[in-house]
Amino acid sequence: MSSSDQATRQIHERAVESLREQGYRLTPQRLLILSAVAQSGGHMGVDQVFRLAKEGYPYMDIATVYRTLHLLKKLNVVTEVAIGDRLHYELTDPDGGHHHMVCQVCNGAFNLGAHYLEQFRNTLMEEFNFEPDLEHFTITGVCSTCHDQPSKDNSAKTKSLRPKV
Ligand SMILES: [Zn+2]
Ligand SMILES: [Zn+2]
């Protein structure tokens, strides 16, 4: 098991604990949904969470997924992140928030430690006396994988750039 798997497991266990602490029963369905969010380090769309949870419990319905995600968000166990034009979910980072870099080609989300934007925040405050709300700040761009290999996803864009004949 890699150390990042272990870290995910710890966050997962903490989430289960805080659910109990706040008096919520950890039903098998809630646990399934929580585990689904914990997989692949989070950044899961509702449909992905639904698909994974359904693997563990075929009678899972999407309304339960929405309701549970809403509850987990309210308990601060799960954080909602807008990636592209869709909402994604991840386990709440116990070490404070992080920002996201989102690839416009593959739609992948990558975590960016909050300290990377400290300087930026200070500059805005010092030079403009402007206090930025960076909680939902997301940087869009192209990830290293998509940079290195012009993928199939790119071809549609390239085509549309060609002059019409
Ligand atoms: Zn990418
Ligand atoms: Zn994240």
Task: Report pLDDT digits (tens) over 103-119.
Answer: 889 888 888 888 889 89
CATH number assigned to the domain with residue range 98-155, chosen from the 4 options 2.30.30.60, 3.40.350.10, 3.30.1490.190, 3.40.50.720: 3.30.1490.190
Q: Which amino acid is at 151?
A: S
- Confidence at residue 75, expressed as pLDDT on a 0 to 100 scale: 87
Ligand 1 center–CA 74 separation, angstroms: 31
Q: How many CA atoms lie within 13 A of 126 on its CB side?
A: 6
pTM, 2 dp: 0.70
Q: Which amino acid is at 86?
A: R
Confidence of residue 66 (pLDDT cuts 50, 70, 90): very high
Helical (H) or strand (E) element with 46 = helix 46-56
Domain 3-91 classified CATH 3.90.1150.10? no
Ligand 2 center–CA 43 separation, angstroms: 6
The pair of structure tokens assigned to 80 is 């909602």
Ligand nearest to the CA of 104: 1
The pair of structure tokens assigned to 73 is 């968000």
Residue the block writes with tokens 């430690």:
113
Residue the block writes with tokens 């890699």:
2
Ligand nearest to the CA of 110: 2
